[in-house]
Amino acid sequence: MGIAETIAISMGIAWASGINLYATLATLGILGATGNMTLPPHMEILADPMVIAAASFMYCVEFFADKTPGVDTTWDTLHTFIRIPAGAVLAAMAMGDVSPAAELAALIVGGSLAGLSHGCKAGTRVLINTSPEPFSNWTASVAEDVVVVGGLLTAIYQPSVFIGLLIVFVLVAIWLLPKIWRGIRALFARLSQLFGGKGAARPPTPGSGAAGSPAEDQAPTPQQLFQPALLADKRSKQDPPTPA
C-alpha cells in the first residue's frame, strides 16, 4: 500500500472506532476473511472466526443498547475508556511495518481522532435524548452505523476521498464540540433547577420588599414597628372622656 492508502486506513479505523468499535472490528474481519481486503500484517488476527464472532456479538448488544434513551448515554460513558484506547492501538497496528516513531505518531493521532469522533457521538446523543419521542434516537443510531461502515469502505477503496472528508470532519467537529458542551451544560443546569428547586421565583407576599422574597426574610421598617402604637394614641385623642 502507498502512503495515502496507509494513512486513510489507519486514520479511518481510528475515526470509526470512536463511533462504534465493534462494528469497525466486525467489518474489517469480514472483509479480510472474504478476501475483499488485504489486512495489514499486524491486523490479520481480525479475520479469525472467533474474533469476528465476538465482535459481531458485541455489535448486537450495542445495537440495542444504543437505541434505548438513557442507556445509550451510559453505554457511551463506559466506552470512553474502551473506544479511544482501542482506536489508538488499531491505528498503530494498521500502519504495518514502519519505524517505531511512525507507529507512535499513528498511536497519538489515532487516539486523538477516536476521542474526537467519540466526543461528537456521545455529546450529540445526550442532547438528542431530551426529545420525548424515541424515533430521533433510533435514526441517529442507525445513521451512525451506516456512516461507520460506509466510511471504512471509502477509506479502503477511495483513500484520497476519505482523507478529504476526514479533514472536513475534523474542522466541523472542532467548531461543533464547544456548542455541544454548552448545550450539555445548559441541560444539566435546567435539571439542577428542576430537581433541586433552586432559582424558582416565588410570588411576592404582602409587606415584602423585593418581588419574589417573603416578608419574613426581611427586617421590619421603623414605621411598621411603631404603627400600632401611633394608631392607639390617635384613637385615644379622638375618643371623648367617659364621665366618672
pTM: 0.77
> Is 110 domain-assigned?
yes
How far apart, in Å, are the Cα atoms of 142 and each of 29, 119, 205?
Answer: 21, 18, 54
> Which residue did the predictor score with more confidence, 200 or 1?
1
> Is 68 domain-assigned?
yes
Residue 232 has what pLDDT? 58
Return the minimum-mean-pLDDT range out of 112-126, 166-180, 193-207: 193-207
How high does pLDDT run on average in the chain?
A: 85
> Is 207 domain-assigned?
no
Whole-angstrom distance, CA of residue 8 vs CA of residue 158: 9
Res 76 pLDDT > 60 = yes
> Which residue did the predictor score with more confidence, 212 or 204?
204
- Number of structural domains (the chain) is 1
Residue 13 has what pLDDT? 97
Res 64 pLDDT > 50 = yes
Cell of 199: 432559582
Q: What is the pLDDT of residues 99-130, one digit of tens each?
A: 999 999 999 999 999 999 999 999 999 888 88
> Is 32 domain-assigned?
yes
> Is 219 domain-assigned?
no
- Count other Cβ atoms within 10 Å, centred on residue 41: 9
> Is 26 domain-assigned?
yes
Which phi and psi angles does 99 have, rounded to 5°?
A: -70, 155
Q: Collapsing DSSP states into helix, strand and coil, what is residue 221?
A: coil
∠ Cα 28 140 111 (to 5°): 45
Cell of 53: 464472532
Cell of 62: 450495542
Confidence of residue 210 (pLDDT cuts 50, 70, 90): very low
> Is 215 domain-assigned?
no
Whole-angstrom distance, CA of residue 99 vs CA of residue 147: 32
> Is 53 domain-assigned?
yes
Confidence of residue 192 (pLDDT cuts 50, 70, 90): confident
Terminal-residue alpha carbon distance, the chain: 124
- State the DSSP code for 132: S
Task: Supply the range of the domain harboring residue 50.
Answer: 3-196
Whole-angstrom distance, CA of residue 71 vs CA of residue 82: 17
Whole-angstrom distance, CA of residue 161 vs CA of residue 169: 12
Whole-angstrom distance, CA of residue 1 vs CA of residue 157: 12
Q: How far is CA 122 from the centre of its chain?
A: 3
Which phi and psi angles does 130 have, rounded to 5°?
A: -75, -15
